[in-house]
Structure 1
Amino acid sequence: MYLDLASLTSVRLFVQRYRAKGLPLHVLVNNAGVMLVPERRTEDGFELHFGLNYLGHFLLTILLLDVLKKSGKPGKFSRIVIMSSATHYGGRLTLDDLQGRVCYSAHGAYAQSKLALLLFSYHLQNLLWVRGDPVTVNAVDPGMVDTALYGNLSSLAQLAKKPFAKLLFRTPAEGASTAIYAAAASELEGIGGLYLYNGRKTESSALSYD
């Protein structure tokens, strides 16, 4: 089924179609994203990093939450996996300029979106625990992965990146490993509210716990 996370209308239509199928949902991996793109707006008027990386996933998760709750049960919780990034450590939520209209920075916008995802992950897990719902939420840092996400680097930066990519960057399969761990590992049954890197619990930024 088609889904464009940069369009809130597309997210709503996707959820309607999914619900119409009457299928359960045991795992939701929020993995789509853009990085370091020049200043652009979504069709809804949001800055692209914030609109796609955060708002699209936020709406998708909230609209599918009751399906996830119904699909989970004690001893077999449904799971939500949210892809964050180490760039969140440098992220700041500029509440009076979330859309970057005053001073746009591609790196700042990306870091802000990843910090927002972490805040959402922790807050949602707390709400689910309070309600006793059989759903866990964990955030994941896939590391530096050699994918098309880096396609928005300048030509000079692209050239500089190439010799280091094979040495320092992970393959897409390696980058996906922690997300798969969060989605399927038996030792994480019923455990949420974590930030995972290399399959291990890691401390996220102080702001992410605010």
Structure 2
Amino acid sequence: MLSAVRSQLLPVIRLYLLGLRLVLVQLFSRPFRLPVMPRQDGKVAIVTGGGRGIGYEVVRHMARLGAHVIIGGRDEQEGLEAIRRICEEDKEAKVEFMKLDLASVQSVRQFVRSFKERDLPLNILVNNAGVMLVPEGRTDDGFEQHFGVNYLGHFLLTWLLLDTLKDSGKCGYFSRVVNVSSSAHCVGEIRLNDLNSCQCYSAHAAYCHSKLAQLLFSSYLHQELQRGGSPLSSCAVDPGMVDTALYRHLWTPLSLAQSVIARLLFRTPAEGAASVLHAALSPDLEGECGGGYWANGRREMTTPPTFDPQLQLSLWETSLRLLGLD
């Protein structure tokens, strides 16, 4: 009994202590300001969850620079409203919506089939969509929601688009995969025998585990691409604590005060998007320089498990098996 209670409480305590530390750091530091980025005419980008929050700001900025941006999301009405607002600002913006539910393997596969039928290049993939602290539940394919949406859905999407990303890159103009992660990975664990959190469920722990899994995937993918000489890079980005709907499932007392706290202490979606856009567009991150973990516009160190080659490989192979990939 005590062990079960401890398993439930420890992730909560760790995550909120981490959050408190990050709020204090943000309070006494300036948010990263995105330098002027080069034009992106002729480039095609996919941004998951691009209908609101950080994703919307990423789509908006890329479109302003001339990129053809595809919003991949579940909510068509939200996506179309985002497009309307962006096109009101810039009549020349090339933005569109395509249905994508990361909680469904079938939906991810259909999205990729529909995209490939158009024979478009793909220069930038921003894996941005996610869920946080949602009640216990399963995706359409039986995966725990945080693990299924934040990690496996994006793993499958990236895997199925790898050939197009590689074909679209070239020396000096690498294609890029940008995984929007979180500092919550610092308190996450990878339990290969319980990736779906069946033994003891904690929404706080499940969220942290999924973000660590993202980092392991991002790092391993970048190494594989380097070894293969592919003109494609992979990195992970922490946008910081940002005032978005992602925090609506916070512990109730904090949830009630969250809107006030967020306005005072959190970054705006545009400020959070700056680090994501830097990783996706900056000429300074071309080629091999594009890997790693980035926060506030700087490359940062991560926790030791992120660099564990055996853990990276084991998670990669387990993910392929769970998704039925060869």
Normalising by structure 1, report the TM-score.
0.98
Structure 1 residue identity aligned to 2:299:
K
1:194 shift after superposition: 1.2
Structure 2 residue identity aligned to 1:198:
N
1:168 shift after superposition: 1.7
Would you say 1:194 and 2:292 are equivalent positions?
yes
Residue in structure 2 matched with residue 70 of structure 1 by the alignment:
167
* Superposed CA RMSD: 0.9
Residue in structure 2 matched with residue 13 of structure 1 by the alignment:
110
Unaligned segments of structure 1, at least 5 residues: none
DSSP-derived class of the 1:79 partner: strand
Larger gyration radius, structure 1 or structure 2: 2
Structure 1 residue identity aligned to 2:298:
R
Residue in structure 2 matched with residue 137 of structure 1 by the alignment:
234
DSSP-derived class of the 1:92 partner: coil
CA-to-aligned-CA distance 1:69-121 (integer Å, 9 cap, x gap): 00000010001100110000000011221111111011110000000000001
Structure 2 residue identity aligned to 1:28:
L
CA-to-aligned-CA distance 1:99-144 (integer Å, 9 cap, x gap): 1111101111000000000000110011000110000111000100
Unaligned segments of structure 2, at least 5 residues: 1-97, 309-326
CA-to-aligned-CA distance 1:159-197 (integer Å, 9 cap, x gap): 232332122211111111101000000111112321000
Aligned partners of 1:36 and 1:160: how far apart in 2? 17
1:4 shift after superposition: 0.4
Aligned partners of 1:122 and 1:82: how far apart in 2? 10
Higher relative CO (Cα under 8 Å, sequence separation at least 6) belongs to 1
Normalising by structure 2, report the TM-score.
0.63
Identity of aligned residues (%): 58
DSSP-derived class of the 1:18 partner: helix
Pairs within 5 Å for 1:1-210: 1-190=98-287, 191-210=289-308
Contact kept in structure 1, 2:131 and 2:149, CA below 8 Å: yes
The size of the alignment, in residue pairs, is 210
Aligned partners of 1:106 and 1:201: how far apart in 2? 29
Aligned partners of 1:66 and 1:167: how far apart in 2? 44
Aligned partners of 1:184 and 1:126: how far apart in 2? 20
CA-to-aligned-CA distance 1:41-90 (integer Å, 9 cap, x gap): 00100000000000000000000000000000001000110011000000
